[in-house]
Amino acid sequence: MGRRILIIGGGVIGLCSAYACARLGHQVHVVDAGSEDHAGCSYGNAGMIVPSHFTPLAAPGMVAIGLKWMWNPESPFYIKPRLDAGLLRWAAGFWRSATVAHVQRAAPLLRDLHLRSRAWFETFHDSDQLDFGLQRHGLLMLCQGQHALDEEAAGAEKARALGIPAEVLDSKETARHDPAITMNVAGSVYYPKDCHLAPDRFMSALRKTLAGLGVQFSWNTPIRTWRCDHARVIAAAGTSENFHADRFILAGGSWSPSLADEAGLRLTMQAGKGYSLTLPHPPQLPRLCSILTEARVAVTPMGQTLRVGGTMEISGLDESIDPRRVRGMIRAMSAYYPEFRPEHFEGIQPWAGLRPCSPDGLPYLGVARRYPNLIVATGHAMMGLSLGPVTGEIAADLASDRKPGFDLSLLSPDRTC
């Protein structure tokens, strides 16, 4: 007989967890503080599935890059200065984690998680015949300068050592891979295993599938605290209702830490704001998704539209739009793609979403030590979509008292970053 599973959070992590739990025969209820049509960070992102991203955000050199960028209002990275103990803890943890040893420990695990998710996306798309725009053409890391190309080439060598195919291309070879768009680059690294999709279409297909599996949804339902009995959570308390279950999955994204605190669990995390612009009629349409390496901007074709996304702005739970960040993305597009001009973006409404970022760049995924029936699944930063399916599988295994197929020690929600 299936268990009652309450999932807190209706983003990609919560819905993938709901799907995996429902497929195992559990009774699943998803609650979310937002409205049913709220386009959070699971909807407006770049839609990339990235086995190439085996390096966590906390990596050697990132502290120096961050310090340099944060003084430029149009830069890809910005931390809003504020007196906040949580921000100081996060910054200290990031600094401690940005080491070669940390990257070496994390890379094989991230590789395996991304590849497992990629296989799931393919099965979900092909076997279930769901159309959410999955494209298996690979990804180009575009480099304007030789220094960036040399650094990406070193990354390609590490990828190949991990079994991830990667090709270093000069400018002419890069153009041959995607001849539909004019590029101003010194070269690129091509990752053929990477994919892309339209995230809003994927989320819509997933929600429709969940409804068919009998999953229950409660929107506009913030959870305030937990009702506990000794070493177990017995209910999640909303404003006017208690939600009882056998297992609880906390997948609240950037809003997870406050609720984790209520369970005596400290999740050191900051919301990393990202922006995107979607051009309905771009002057040129690439076939492959790309990352503009020096600018840290992602470019993804979605049907006949083109999405441009980027920035990492650490400014709290603030979804307001800073036009300076948007201008930086538009400038980068014109620099890498000379056929794109600022006027092409006039009248396009920017989207902003908050990505949950841990200090060491790894998700929090596992059972809480204090409450064995509370599972934490959050902190995926920019990899939420790519790691959504495998996270859901792991969360469902844990909720079913089954051993996951991965060593989760690096992802423990009780770890100190």
Name the E strands within 158-255.
Answer: 167-170, 187-191, 195-196, 216-218, 223-229, 232-238, 242-244, 247-250
Give CA–CA dist 76/311, Å, rounded.
4
Q: Which amino acid, one-letter code, is at 410?
A: L
Tell whether the torsion through CA atoms of 346, 354, 192 and 293 is positive or negative.
positive
CA angle 414, 416, 417 (to 5 degrees): 125
Instruction: From first to last of the 417 residues of the chain, give the pLDDT tens digit.
Output: 699 999 999 999 999 999 999 999 999 999 999 988 877 788 999 999 999 999 998 888 877 777 777 777 788 888 887 888 999 999 999 999 999 999 999 999 999 999 999 999 999 888 767 789 999 999 999 999 999 999 999 999 999 999 999 999 999 999 999 999 999 999 999 999 999 999 999 999 999 999 999 999 999 999 999 999 989 999 999 988 999 999 999 999 999 999 999 999 999 999 999 999 999 999 999 999 999 999 999 999 999 999 999 999 998 999 999 999 999 999 999 999 999 999 999 999 999 999 999 999 999 999 999 999 999 999 999 999 999 999 999 999 999 999 999 999 999 999 988
Could you give the maximum distance between any two Cα atoms of the chain, in Å? 65
Give me the CATH code for the 52-83+134-195+270-357 domain, please.
Answer: 3.30.9.10
